[in-house]
Amino acid sequence: MKNRNVKSLLAVILFALVSLPALAQNNDLNNFLSKKGYIAIKLNKLIIGHLYMEGTLNGIKGKFILDSGAGATVIDEKVKDKFKLNTAGGNDVKAAGAGSASLTARMASDNKLVLGDYKRDKFTLAVMNLDNVNDALKSVGIAAFDGVIGADILSSGKAVIDYETLTLYLQNTAN
């Protein structure tokens, strides 16, 4: 019995020694970025590997896939009214995405996006049909998403993605 307790204690100490450098490194990154004005946003990971987050758009909660390859933040046209998006004066633009080479998006301006403590006012985004994305997710048992956070937010927020801790860091900048 005593040997088992000693072995258990040694295993815990060994685990702590192996884990401490990684924890210190992550804490160092968080501290460094916090001093530079970055805000940490918790990410989640789907079973298929995509990262997503929850946030609010125009005060309404939503779920958004993080897509660094998407040139713009896009909201599914099916939830346009849910988020109070005004596309009446918006321009139609040609778009392309995974699974479709010719799509049309309508621009919606003057929106407010909040991801954790990161805030972006007077923000313009695209509204388009995201059936191809949501149908693919549904085929593997994942509920539909409201939209995609794209490179426009990531570049303006000088994004840093920490895959180990599933944390997105964005810097609040002047809108």
Q: Given a cut of 70, is residue 123 above it in pLDDT? A: yes
pTM as predicted? 0.78
- Give the count of domains, the chain: 2
Domain of residue 24 covers 1-35
Contact partners, residue 159, CB within 8 Å, separation at least 6: 68, 153, 168, 169, 170
Q: Given a cut of 60, is residue 174 above it in pLDDT? A: no
Which pLDDT band holds residue 89 (cuts at 50, 70, 90)? low
On average, the pLDDT of the chain sits at 84
- For range 112-121, the mean pLDDT: 95
Mark whether 29 and 98 lie in a shared domain: no
In this prediction, residue 6 carries a pLDDT of: 57
Mark whether 43 and 31 lie in a shared domain: no
Please state, in angstroms and rounded to a whole number, the distance separating the CA atoms of residues 44 and 50. Answer: 8
Q: What is the CATH number of the domain that holds 88?
A: 2.40.70.10
Lowest mean pLDDT among 32-46, 93-107, 108-122, 141-155: 93-107
| Residues of the chain above pLDDT 90, percent | 68
Mark whether 131 and 83 lie in a shared domain: yes
In this prediction, residue 28 carries a pLDDT of: 87
Mark whether 10 and 66 lie in a shared domain: no
Mark whether 90 and 65 lie in a shared domain: yes
Mark whether 21 and 59 lie in a shared domain: no
Q: Which residue has the higher pLDDT, 9 or 84?
A: 84
Mark whether 97 and 16 lie in a shared domain: no
The string of pLDDT tens digits covering residues 28-65 is: 899 999 999 999 999 999 999 999 999 999 999 999 99
Q: Given a cut of 80, is residue 157 above it in pLDDT? A: yes
Mark whether 90 and 147 lie in a shared domain: yes
Mark whether 130 and 85 lie in a shared domain: yes
28: phi then psi, degrees, rounded to nearest 5: -60, -45
Which pLDDT band holds residue 24 (cuts at 50, 70, 90)? very low
Mark whether 99 and 117 lie in a shared domain: yes
Q: Which residue has the higher pLDDT, 96 or 128?
A: 128
Mark whether 5 and 80 lie in a shared domain: no
Mark whether 31 and 102 lie in a shared domain: no
